[in-house]
Structures are given as C-alpha cells and as structure tokens.
C-alpha cells in the first residue's frame, strides 16, 4: 500500500512523463489526423457517401448547372444546403473526384487547415499541441459529419493572425471568404481595432468582397449568381426561424433558456443584445490593444461568442467554440487556478465528451442534449474571459506560454 510520501515521490515522474507525451508531436498528430481519418474510412467502407459531403458537392454542381442551391434534392441527399455560391469554388476540387476520394481529402483538408491556424497563434513552447489535444474530440466529431466548421475556425484565426502581422490585405480575404461561405467569418471584423492600417483593411475588404461576389459567375452566369444571393438571404432567414424548434440546432444560450424554462417563443434578441454589450465592453482598455495576451483573450471570446449566441449552432459547430476554450486556457496566467481548471474540466465533460458517448450516456441523452447544456460551460468560460479583459493587468510576464 502506497504512503502519501511515496505518492509525492512518484508525482514528479508522472508529471514529467505526461509533459513528454502531450508535447510529443508524433503522438498529437496521430490523434489529430489519424483517429478522425480512421473513423471516416470506416464509415466510407460500410456506408454510402456521407450526406453532408453530398450537399457540399451539389452546391458546386448546382452552380455549374444553374440550378437552385436551396431547393431540396431528396434524390441526392436529405436536408438542405445553406452555404453561399462562393462555397462552390472551395469544394470544386473535391467534388470533381470520385465521392470516396473526394470526401476523404475534404476531411484531411479541413483538419490540416485548422492545424496550420493553431500553429500561427502567438503561443510559444509548442503550446498549439495542447490546443490540438483539447480540441481533438471536437475535430473528430466534425470529421464524422464532414463539416466545414474547422475551416471556418481557421479563417477566423487567420484573420486575427494577419492583422497582428500587419498583412491587412490577406486578413480582409480571410474575413470576406468566411462571410461569403457561411456568414460566421464576419466575426473577423472584431479584430479591426488591432489593425495599424485601418483604411487599408477597409479598402481590402471592399476589394475582396467585390472579387468574391463576382467570382462564382466565372463558372455560372451573372444572372444566376445574383438570383442565388437573393435566395441565400431568404434561406438563412427561414433557417433561423426553424432553428428554435430544432432538436439538432439551437445548442446555444437561447436554446438553454427555451428548453430549461419551456419558453419556445423566447426571442434571441433578449440574450444577444446584452451579450453584444458585454463583448463591446472588452474594448474599453485601449492601452492593451498591443498586448498578445489581451488579443488572444479577444480571439477566444470571438470564437466562443460566434457559436453560443447562434441559433444555428449544432454539435459539430463546437469545434469553433472549443478552439476558443483551448486558446483561453493556454492564455491564462500560470500557475492556473482551481477555478480555471474546474471550468476547463467542466467544458471537457459537458461540452466535448457527451457527443462521443464517453460520458455517461443516460445523462447526455436525458439532460445535456435535450436542454442544450453543451453551451453552458462555454458560456461560463466566455463570461470569465469578459471579466479578465476588464480587470486583468496585461503584461506577458508571468505568462510564459504567450509571446509578443
């Protein structure tokens, strides 16, 4: 039987072994790329091409053949497409391949782009590896459904990165591309105040918006693309109205209120308006706009906000929010407090685990999913982030993980 003194003797060795494991690139990369790929391969072998991939593929085919992007096509797939015509250009190289090959490469492309985005974060000591580990379950969940959300996450991070590097022209492309595909990318404008070249950023946004607006016309026709943008607007309005009563969508703060308090008609504006006010408060500390730690907090806040206050949020969307959670955790002062560790563990258990049935299945099915509680830990962490942006002293001393 071990004595307390014996445990204390072994703890440093255990800690050292864990550090070697989590900072082992081969181990982390195997999890990041390998497990998701294995799951996708197994699915492709035993089933027909995945539904989401078929929706994406027909976005391209419908643009080519000038058929409505938002009319149901049950002969090819169930559900509907909700992406803009620019998305057809992104999916085109994959859609031209056989479905199995195209779907496989699509998943790898998504996870690779997000991997590169994590790498460019201003976090030293290979801290991006821990971010990848923390997000591993969500990237697997996203891969299972062949989602585009990892790239959306990456576009938001890249817009942050390019603005920090004073490459506003490319930052504008990231923002515009995210906006013209799934709208979520527009949140990249939150980093506008970190730019030293605001006029250049505005001009670049105008330039890339025009380019992306007309670019799908090269594989279709101006008349069809103009009609498609109008149809996209109406589709998104209709989808937003449908989300409130959906079992799969509305995994958000508003969804929690609607389900827990049984108020199906609860208006989202009553949550979004105060949330936007709190988010805006984060910008009052102008003197810290150049601080890497402050900027990373804003990035984490943006990634979480984008999901937990969206009626379109579904389980696979949480790769965006959980990336924010992981970035926040790597950005907190060391040593980490019990509260911060508790919040992270709460997020892992409630937000990330239930989807993969790692957590107790009955609790997940009975409480977490029906009451949209996947959003709750992210909300608490987001509120903690807002508090930190308003009260913390931002100097990179005492936070060895973060670099200017």
pLDDT above 80 (res 247): no
Alpha-helical regions (H) of 332-375:
338-347, 361-363
Instruction: Look at the block and give the residue holding tokens 């299945």.
Output: 361
- What residues does each domain of the chain span? 4-391
pLDDT above 80 (res 4): no
Among 125, 135, 155, which Cα is nearest to 28's?
A: 135
Instruction: Look at the block and give the residue holding tokens 């579904």.
Output: 314
Q: What region does 84 belong to: left with phi over 0, alpha with psi -120 to 50, or beta? A: beta
Among 174, 15, 36, 61, which Cα is nearest to 112's?
A: 36
User: Using an 8 Å Cβ cutoff, are 83 and 181 in contact?
Assistant: yes
123 pairs with which residues across the strands? 402
Residue 123, classed as helix, strand or coil, is: strand
User: Using an 8 Å Cβ cutoff, are 95 and 369 in contact?
Assistant: no
Backbone angles phi, psi at 134, to 5 degrees: -65, -30
* 115 vs 143: CA distance, rounded Å: 14
- Burial annotation 225-242 (CB, 10 A radius, 16+ → b, else e): beebeeebeebbeebeee
Global pTM value: 0.92
What is the predicted pLDDT for the residue at 10? 43
Looking at 64-68, 106-110, 360-364, which range is the least confident one?
360-364
pLDDT digits (tens, 9 = 90+) for 164-209: 999 999 999 999 999 999 999 999 999 999 999 999 999 999 999 9
* 191 vs 295: CA distance, rounded Å: 8
pLDDT digits (tens, 9 = 90+) for 254-303: 999 999 999 988 999 999 999 999 999 999 999 999 999 999 999 999 99
Percentage of the chain lying above the pLDDT 70 cut: 89
User: Using an 8 Å Cβ cutoff, are 46 and 84 in contact?
Assistant: no
* 12 vs 11 pLDDT, higher one: 12
* 225 vs 228: CA distance, rounded Å: 5
* Max Cα–Cα distance, the chain, nearest Å: 78
- Predicted confidence band at 2 (pLDDT cuts at 50, 70, 90)? very low
Backbone angles phi, psi at 8, to 5 degrees: -60, -35
Most confident of 2-16, 45-59, 303-317: 303-317
pLDDT digits (tens, 9 = 90+) for 335-387: 899 999 999 999 999 998 754 455 566 777 788 889 999 999 999 999 999 99
**Which pair of structure tokens corresponds to residue 79?**
């559900």
Cis peptide bond prior to 213, omega within 30° of 0: no
pLDDT above 60 (res 135): yes
pLDDT digits (tens, 9 = 90+) for 144-164: 889 999 999 999 999 999 999
């Amino acid at each position: 039987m071990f004595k307390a003194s014996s445990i204390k003797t072994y703890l440093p060795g255990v800690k050292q072994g864990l550090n070697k494991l989590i900072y082992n690139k081969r181990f982390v990369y195997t999890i990041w790329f390998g497990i998701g790929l294995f799951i996708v391969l197994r699915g492709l072998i035993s089933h027909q091409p995945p539904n989401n991939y078929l929706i994406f593929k027909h976005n391209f085919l419908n643009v080519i053949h000038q058929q409505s992007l938002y009319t149901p096509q049950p002969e090819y797939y169930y559900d509907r497409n909700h992406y803009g015509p620019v998305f057809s250009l992104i999916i085109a190289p994959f859609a031209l391949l056989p479905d199995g090959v195209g779907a496989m490469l699509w998943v790898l492309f998504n996870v690779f782009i997000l991997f590169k985005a994590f790498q460019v974060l201003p976090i030293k000591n290979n801290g991006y590896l821990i971010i990848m580990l923390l997000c591993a379950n969500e990237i697997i969940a996203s891969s299972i459904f062949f989602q585009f959300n990892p790239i959306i996450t990456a576009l938001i991070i890249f817009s942050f990165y390019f603005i920090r590097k004073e490459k506003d022209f490319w930052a504008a492309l990231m923002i515009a591309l995210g906006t013209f595909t799934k709208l979520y990318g527009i949140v990249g404008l939150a980093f506008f105040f970190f730019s030293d070249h605001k006029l250049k950023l505005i001009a670049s946004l105008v330039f890339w918006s025009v380019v992306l607006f007309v670019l799908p016309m090269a594989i279709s026709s101006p008349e069809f693309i103009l009609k498609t943008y109008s149809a996209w607007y109406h589709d998104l309005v209709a989808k937003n109205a449908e989300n409130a009563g959906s079992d799969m969508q509305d995994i958000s703060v508003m969804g929690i209120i609607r389900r827990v308090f049984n108020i199906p008609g609860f208006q989202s504006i009553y949550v979004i308006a105060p949330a936007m006010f709190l988010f805006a408060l984060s910008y009052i500390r102008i003197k810290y706009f150049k601080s890497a730690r402050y900027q990373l907090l804003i990035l984490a806040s943006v990634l979480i906000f984008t999901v937990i206050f969206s009626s379109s949020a579904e389980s696979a969307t949480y790769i965006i929010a959980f990336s924010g959670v992981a970035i926040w955790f790597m950005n907190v002062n060391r040593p980490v407090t019990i509260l911060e560790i508790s919040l992270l563990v709460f997020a892992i258990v409630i937000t990330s685990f239930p989807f993969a049935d790692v957590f107790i299945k009955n609790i997940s099915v009975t409480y977490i999913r029906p009451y949209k509680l996947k959003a709750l830990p992210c909300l608490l962490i987001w509120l903690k982030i807002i508090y930190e942006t308003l009260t913390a002293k931002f100097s990179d001393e005492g936070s060895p993980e973060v670099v200017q």
